[in-house]
Chains A and B, each alone.
Chain A
Amino acid sequence: MSRSHTRTENPSTARSARRPRNVPLLVGLTVGAVLWEVAGRFWLDPIFFAPLSRTALGFLEMVRTGELVEALFESLQLFVIGFSSGAAAGLLLGVLIGRVAAIGAALEDYVTILYVTPPIALVPFILSILGFGVGPKSIIVAWFVFFPVCITTIEGVRAVSPRLLEVSRSFGSGELRTWRDVVIPSTVPYAMSGIRQGIALGFVGVVAAEFLLDASGIGLLLRSFSRLYRMDKLLAAVLLMTALGLLIMALGRLAERRFAPWRQ
């Protein structure tokens, strides 16, 4: 089953974002913005909703007070620690599973089983064993990142053309040269697609960890705004998450194109 994971990618999210700006897009956005403003002003209870204009003001206030920058910085730190350790572990184990048959046969099933378990299920265990802090939160982020990276790396290592391997072997290249010239070039595109998914999931992991463990960063913002019924700031923060998510997806695609231009 692990072999089909990269297939479940949705190429059209990539395609749609690259389309040039045009009339239907502007119409769509304008209708949405007007609906939001009108609904917020005249229809919906202001305790539970804020029109676009007030949301924009709330956003500006968050920027002005510095709470936004502080929160983003805190979350970014967590992301960097968690992502780098999760991706490193995923690459390492993926290469071992894909390349060493004994390890592959032994471990692949467990990786698959853990992969289909919602990663969020780790949270209660981490919470009661390790409690609060940056360490436990980084473990959660790393856990989110690990699986897509590991599984696509396994696929990549296995997708190395056996003919190329045979040729390089019959010309007497050692394991190191085989890796440099054959295995790595053909693994990178797969691994990049895993890293792209890992970046997106790492972002989810950051928000989840900051929300469910001790609140910090953007998780803290979301939590406190919803408890204080600051709908303007809450909606602004949610929309910021959307923007960050889109940005992260775009960066991931950029990285993928840069390192694996033949994939798309």
Chain B
Amino acid sequence: MAAVTRPRTELSRGGRAASRIITLGAIAAIWQYSVPRFGRDFMATPFGIARAVPEVLLQDARVWPGAAETFGVVARGMGFAIVAGTLIGLAMGRMPGLAKAVAPYVNGSYATPMIAVLPLFTLWLGFNTSATFALVVFAAVPPMAVSAWDGAASVPQRYLEVARSFGARRRDIWFGVAIPASLPYLLAGFRLASGRALSAVVIAEFLIGTGNGLGNHVMRLAQTFKHDQAVVAVLILTAVGLFLAVGVEAITRRVFPWFRRTT
């Protein structure tokens, strides 16, 4: 986004750092001060959260197994969705007739709030991780498919003509031209899909309630009024969300340097 400019009154590097530290301090101070006065005594406070960080990360026996379960489901669901969504989307991009026939289903499942289909999945698959997995797939496939569809539909015709006139085989056109050319779209799709997948897993764990995932743990901590600890557990979700939103793109840019030109 080249058009984005810095704010009008530019701050120096030091100015930015200083205003960050001052605000952080101010927010923390107001927060710490107001909770015992206006809030409830079990609510999270900055000091409480700071104290809970080592406690939760090092001593809580349920956090890391829970995170492993939760992110394991996300990883499996995303893996499935990346393959299925990309195939659906690329096929739609290359075959306009198919695209029109399938579009209502892709758009429809994209527009349906995932929480609304969870009751169906729990009835069909039981109150267990299969239902969670199904919800992650349901959440992640449509954005992957739509992005791949966009990508495949926007491969410059020139590339395809050149490839064909040099006698490229169908497979080479797919893996040599179509997929690399749609990579920026696939990456945008990945970012959308992974955000939705993360939401899906937490929603499913909140609602199913019987598992041992991170979402279940957050719910349990919050219900037993251990809010400081619950915040720390949520921050693990945040860290993964941040990595999926920013880190993955940074890695892709490093691995595929030509990628920069297309975005």
Q: A residues touching B (Cβ–Cβ < 8 Å)?
A: 1, 3-4, 6-8, 10-13, 16-17, 19, 22, 24-25, 27-29, 31-32, 48, 98-102, 104-107, 109-110, 113-114, 116-121, 123-125, 127-129, 155, 158-162, 165, 200, 203-204, 207-208, 211-212, 218, 222-223, 225-226, 229, 231, 234-235, 237-238, 241-242, 245-246, 248-249
Chain A residues whose C-beta falls within 8 Å of the C-beta of B110 in the assembled complex: 13, 245
- Chain A residue numbers with a CB within 8 Å of B4 are 3, 155, 158-159
User: For residue A206, which residue of chain B has the nearest CB?
Assistant: B113
Chain A's closest residue to B200 (CB) is: A118
Taking the closest CB of chain A, its distance from the CB of B176, in whole angstroms, is: 24
Interface flag for B102 (CB, 8 Å): yes
Neighbouring B residues of A3 by C-beta, 8 Å: 1, 4
Chain B residues with CB under 8 Å of A249's CB are: 111
**Majority secondary structure, A binding face:** helix
Structural contact, A118 and B43, CB atoms closer than 8 A: no
Contact B227 A242 (CB under 8 A): no
Q: How far is the CB of B142 from chain A (nearest CB, A)?
A: 9
- Complex Cα distance, B7 from A162, in Å, reads 9
Contacting residue for A117 out of B19, B44, B188, B238, CB 8 A:
B238
B20 at the interface (CB under 8 A from A): yes
- Interface membership of B245, Cβ < 8 A: yes
User: B interface, by DSSP: helix, strand, loop or mixed?
Assistant: helix
Interface string of B1-37 (1 = CB under 8 A from A): 1011111111100011001101110010000000000
- Nearest Cβ on chain B to A172's Cβ, whole angstroms: 16
The 7 closest A-B pairs by CB, nearest first: A28-B101, A245-B111, A106-B23, A124-B222, A226-B119, A116-B241, A24-B100
Q: Are A237 and B116 in contact (CB under 8 A)?
A: yes
A48 and B23 contacting across the interface, CB-CB below 8 Å: no
B227 touches A121 (CB 8 A): no
B44 vs chain A, min Cβ distance (A): 8
- CB atoms of B198 and A124 under 8 A apart: no
Sample of 28 A–B contacts (CB below 8 Å) = A1-B246, A7-B1, A10-B150, A13-B110, A19-B100, A24-B97, A25-B101, A25-B104, A28-B101, A48-B123, A98-B7, A99-B7, A99-B8, A101-B11, A102-B11, A104-B7, A116-B195, A125-B44, A125-B222, A128-B225, A158-B5, A211-B115, A223-B119, A234-B120, A237-B116, A245-B108, A245-B110, A249-B111
B11's partner among A16, A105, A113 (CB-CB below 8 A) is A105
Chain B interface, number of residues (Cβ within 8 angstroms): 83
Chain B residues, Cβ within 8 Å of A204 = 113-115
Which residues of the partner chain A approach B23 to less than 8 Å between Cβ atoms?
A: 106-107
Contact B113 A203, beta carbon cutoff 8 Å: yes
Q: Which of B55-63, B201-209, B254-262 contacts A (4 or more CB under 8 A)?
A: B201-209
Nearest-CB distance from A206 to chain B (Å)? 8
Q: Quick check: B5 and A10 within 8 Å, CB to CB?
A: no
A125-B239 Cα distance, complex, nearest whole Å:
19
Chain A residue contacts of B186, Cβ below 8 A? none
State whether B153 touches A123 (Cβ < 8 A): no
Once bound together, how far apart are the Cα atoms of A65 and B6, in whole Å?
Answer: 57
With an 8 A cutoff between CB atoms, is B50 at the interface?
A: no
